[in-house]
Chains A and B, each alone.
Chain A
Amino acid sequence: EAGVAQSPRYKIIEKRQSVAFWCNPISGHATLYWYQQILGQGPKLLIQFQNNGVVDDSQLPKDRFSAERLKGVDSTLKIQPAKLEDSAVYLCASSLQGTNQPQHFGDGTRLSIL
């Protein structure tokens, strides 16, 4: 089966600019996650969707980050305006609905803020 697709793979912007990332989960996976991974650390959850509804966005910096999952399939994550500390890899993951289902990750978008 096709894995989780993310684009772009790399993005370089200047601080205060805006940027958007796209994710296409594995077909049939109702749950979608966005993570932020700073160099040398493990991924940190930003937001979790169940179909097109938000389950958990407690760690999403809502003053600058937004995410949506229209139609319960693809998702976009946006940062506006970007700060230097947003330099990281942004990972999208998806899983089947249900308890303790393993998450399948994409290869992420590496964001560099100048």
Chain B
Amino acid sequence: LAKTTQPISMDSYEGQEVNITCSHNNIATNDYITWYQQFPSQGPRFIIQGYKTKVTNEVASLFIPADRKSSTLSLPRVSLSDTAVYYCLVVRGNTPLVFGKGTRLSVIA
């Protein structure tokens, strides 16, 4: 599976839009991009998954350019409760998820 690279940490003020970019240069044709969120002392929680262009749900948007070598998770108007670690993963069928270290987002009042 394609290795992913994302920033180690990010800071944001409350109410701002946060964009976390992930690179996955070796993504294969059948691979999907998935994002998970993890709060302290909790297990990861699925946020969003996409294949190409744009996917939006009640929590976030996922932007994937045509070459699919990167993706951007967009969190609109973050609040303190969005402080968490965000993981970008490339998934293929039923192969195991491979988590990196993720991006630690700190939202400041």
Give A residues with C-beta under 8 Å from B: 4, 31, 33, 40-45, 48, 55-56, 91, 93, 99-100, 102-108, 110
Contacts and interface: CB of A to CB of B under 8 A. Distances in A.
B49 A102 contact: yes
Chain B binding site: helix, strand, loop or mixed by DSSP? loop
A99 B44 contact: no
What are the 4 closest A-B residue pairs judged by CB atoms, nearest first? A42-B99, A105-B43, A102-B46, A45-B96
A42 B91 contact: no
15 contacts: A4-B43, A33-B96, A42-B100, A42-B102, A43-B97, A56-B96, A91-B43, A91-B44, A99-B93, A102-B34, A103-B46, A103-B97, A104-B46, A105-B42, A108-B43
A29 to B, nearest CB: 13
Interface in B56-109: 87, 91, 93-94, 96-102
A76 to B, nearest CB: 18
Interface residues of B, number: 20
A12 to B, nearest CB: 16
A100 B32 contact: yes
Contacts of A100: 32, 34, 49, 91, 93
B45 interface: yes
B36 to A, nearest CB: 8
A45 B97 contact: yes
Contacts of A40: 101
B49 A43 contact: no
Contacts of B32: 100
Given A48-B96, A99-B94, A102-B34, A107 B42 contact: yes
A105 B101 contact: no
Contacts of A45: 96-98
Given A99-B93, A100-B32, A43 B99 contact: yes
